[in-house]
Chains A and B, each alone.
Chain A
Amino acid sequence: MLELKDISKTFKKKGTGLSVQAAKHVSLNIPEQSIVGLVGESGCGKSTLSRMVVGLEKADSGTIALKGKNIDYRNPRDLSHLRKSVQIVFQDPNTTFNPRRTLLASLEEGLVNKGMGKTDRLKKVRDLTDIIGISYANLEKYPHQFSGGQKQRLSIARALLMEPELLVLDEPVSSLDVSVQAQIINLLMDLRKEFGLTYLFISHDLHLVGYVSTLIAVMKSGEIVEQGDAEQILFEPKHSYTKQLFASSPIIH
């Protein structure tokens, strides 16, 4: 589906002459219908990587190929192609919706931009809100009238309205309560089956990543230190950092 090859990215700190290497020669392959879990601690570069995948950030070097075709970030047509196929859901559902617009307006905006007529738009929104478990009538409300879990469902709905093939989930449940987190994870697993989606699932929580993913990549200081089949990373981790993450993650036996 998507292949990152030898991606590097450096951020310069203004005025200091210092720089941070957020990605160092990262290569990552996301096969069709897989769930690739990207795990690492804060500052390891996992969010920068996700932003590059959706075209919000441009890599300094390396290539990103979508279904075998290299994406040129300077070419608007390529970028538009990327954005049609790849959507992203962010961590904090409280900051992803315009507080002054109703949810319906926020949800249908992407479809308006696509040039879809009103009847089709509303039907599509209605069908999808049914699936994610939010009543269509509630879409006349504003973001602050929804709970965090509901807003995260709506963020997922908004991403899916664009009919992506790859969904980037950047810490999608980190700001939610445990019981709500479970609802969202179960929903994501159901949606994947229903729409045949591919996920890039980013989290700092190794147990969560381990629970959902088919493939896992462990990232530290801008580098992927270990990647492979989920079972293998979970049960026979090779890299010392992966082992350290496991040793530190609290778990109930």
Chain B
Amino acid sequence: MNTNNDIVLKIENLSLKFHTPGGIIPAVEDFSLSLRRGKIHALVGESGSGKSVTVKSVLRLNPETNTEYTSGRIEYIPSEGEPIEILSANESTLRSVRGSKISMIFQEPGRYLNPVMRVRQLLTETMMTHLKVTKQEALEKAKDLIRLVELNDVDRVLASYPHELSGGMKQRVMIAIALSCSPDIILADEPTTALDVTVQAKILALLKKIARELNIAVLLITHDLAVVYESADEVSVMYAGKLMESSTSGSLFKAPQHPYTRVLLGAVPDISRRGQPLLSIKGNIPDSADRPTGCIFSPRCPEARDFCSLSVPAFESLGNNAHGVACLRTRELFRA
């Protein structure tokens, strides 16, 4: 059921620029997305598409010194209390949200776990910082969390240092830490990219279980469409800082509308099409200093017409509100 009450985060028309020695880089332009409780929303894009930058904006983690939020808002709607607008929030409000109500997991868990702390300490520290709990209570909760992320041998894991754990176990510990302050939202930045497929499958299943059972909204960033297919409820496709297409997962895979989404899907090797060439996209992602005019994808688009380089396509919903596309040829190219 998709009622508006389920919405826990709204990104509306977000634009941001980076000021660099080489000039101003528009990293995200006019981007919108909503997260719902209990659902996994995948944000798909290739490298340089701005997906990580967008996700970092949700916690305002982009370096404040050279990031300029030029427009838009990010609204976090907690289950109790007033909504918080992240981009205008003060530091103390942000601190109360970061890592507790909105937590994050990363691609390489090893790099984000303090190597000189045992898992026990990593878990209890977060809880004691954000929640009013005694050390004993935190430790009890830590044990529950380790069980929740399906790690056996609770005591041994709690007594381990990160380097004593495998990649998959580290990611589970990361998820346990992310869950420790009962978050409303988990931001997962390529959480399975560094893992082997057999481990990946288990971590994705765990994320699904957590979203459903604890009613948490998960924003899953990935470049892998097959991962999206297996785990996401909703999908947004991003290219060069812009939203190309957004839909429920079912609708997107059944009837992808944007030419970019279609080529991306055609580029995934499928053993039932052995011997045929893969769909590929000519050229590379545009250089941030030299962005094409009109539709940002037009120079690489197999369906582009002359007018595509003249005006910027608006993001429009197709019939039902759940499926939206930013393409000047949407009507002509529509496929049910």
Seen from chain A, the residues whose Cβ lies within 8 Å of a Cβ on chain B are 41-42, 147, 149-150, 177-183, 185-186, 189, 204-208, 210-212, 230, 234, 244-245, 247-253
Check A178–B198 contact: CB distance below 8 A: no
Residues of B with C-beta under 8 A to A247: 201
B285 proximity list for chain A (CB < 8 A): 177
Contact of B277 among A41, A181, A186 (CB under 8 A): A186
B280 touches A183 (CB 8 A): yes
Taking the complex as formed, is B164 at the interface, i.e. its CB lies under 8 A from any CB of chain A?
A: no
Name B270's contact: one of A42, A206, A207 (CB within 8 Å).
A207
As a 0/1 sequence over residues 279 to 290 of chain B, the CB contacts with chain A under 8 angstroms (1 = contact) are 111101100000
B274's partner among A42, A211, A244, A253 (CB-CB below 8 A) is A211
- Per the bound structure, the CA–CA distance linking A25 and B178 in Å amounts to 44
Q: Whose C-beta in chain A lies nearest to the C-beta of B49?
A: A177
**From DSSP, what is the main secondary structure of chain A's interface residues?**
helix
- B:188-237 near A, CB below 8 Å: 196-198, 200-201, 204, 223-227, 229-231
Q: How far is the CB of A150 from chain B (nearest CB, A)?
A: 8
Residue pair B46, A177 in contact (C-beta under 8 Å): yes
How far apart are the CA atoms of A181 and B279 in the complex, in Å?
Answer: 10
The interface bits of chain B over 3-22 (1 if a CB of A lies within 8 angstroms of the residue's CB, else 0) are 00000000000000000000
Question: Which one, B29-37, B56-64, B136-144, B259-267, is touching chain A?
Answer: B259-267
B69 at interface, CB cutoff 8 A: no
Interface residues of B in 238-257 (CB under 8 A from A): 253
The listed residue (A179, A204, A234) touching B271 by CB distance below 8 A is A234
In the assembled complex, the Cα of A181 lies from the Cα of B284 at a distance in Å of: 11
> Would you give the shortest CB distance from B230 to chain A, in whole angstroms?
4
Chain B residues within an 8 Å CB radius of A186:
277-278, 280
Provide the residues of chain B in CB contact with A252, threshold 8 Å.
225-226, 229, 253, 265, 268, 270
B99 shortest CB reach to chain A, Å: 29
Chain A residues with Cβ below 8 Å from B317 are: none
> Which B residues from 273 to 329 make CB contacts under 8 A with A?
273-274, 277-282, 284-285
Is A248's CB under 8 angstroms from B223's CB? no
* B93 touches A (CB below 8 Å): no
- A179-B264, A211-B271 known; A250+B230 contact, CB < 8 A: yes
B196 touches A41 (CB 8 A): yes
Q: Would A248 and B198 count as touching, CB distance under 8 A?
A: yes
**A179-B263, A179-B264 as given contacts; A250 in contact with B226, CB under 8 Å:** yes
Chain A residues within 8 Å of B268, by CB: 178, 207, 252
Contacts of A206 in B (CB 8 A): 197
Given A204-B196, A250-B224, is A210 in contact with B277 using a C-beta cutoff of 8 Å?
Answer: no
- On whether the beta carbons of B284 and A147 are closer than 8 Å, the reply is yes
Contacts of B197 in A (CB 8 A): 41, 204-206, 245, 248-250
Task: Verify if B269 is at the interface (C-beta below 8 Å from A).
Answer: yes
Is B88 engaged at the interface, CB distance under 8 Å to the other chain? no
**Of B198, B229, B263, which contacts A251 at CB under 8 A?**
B229
B47 in the interface, Cβ–Cβ < 8 Å? yes
> What is the CB-to-nearest-CB distance from B164 to chain A, in angstroms, rounded to a whole number?
15
Pairwise interchain contact B269-A208, C-beta atoms closer than 8 A: yes
A-B contact pairs, 22 of them (CB 8 A): A149-B284, A178-B224, A179-B264, A179-B267, A181-B267, A182-B267, A182-B278, A182-B280, A182-B281, A186-B277, A186-B278, A207-B268, A211-B270, A211-B278, A212-B269, A245-B198, A249-B197, A250-B200, A251-B230, A251-B270, A252-B226, A252-B253
Chain A residue numbers with a CB within 8 Å of B47 are 177
Neighbour of B200 across the interface among A178, A210, A230, A248, CB < 8 A: A248
Chain B min CB distance to A248 (Å): 4
Q: Which residue from B230, B267, B271 sits with its C-beta under 8 Å from A207?
A: B271
The minimal Cβ–Cβ distance linking B133 to chain A, given in whole angstroms, is 37
Inter-chain CA distance A178–B263, complex, in Å, is: 10
A248, B201: Cβ atoms closer than 8 Å: yes
Q: Using Cβ atoms and an 8 Å threshold, which residues of chain A touch B277? A: 186, 189
Q: Are B201 and A250 in contact (CB under 8 A)?
A: yes
Closest to A179 in B: B281
Contact B280 A179 (CB under 8 A): yes
- The residue of chain A having its C-beta at the shortest distance from the C-beta of B277 within the complex is A186
B223 close to A177 (CB less than 8 A): yes
Of residues 52 through 78 on chain B, the ones whose CB sits less than 8 Å from some CB of chain A are none
Given contacts A248-B197, A250-B201, 10 further A-B contacts (CB under 8 A): A41-B196, A149-B284, A150-B284, A183-B282, A207-B269, A245-B197, A249-B201, A250-B226, A252-B225, A252-B229
Instruction: Check B196 against A251 for contact (C-beta < 8 Å).
Output: no
Output the least CB separation between A163 and chain B (Å): 25
> In this complex, what residue of B is CB-closest to A43?
B196
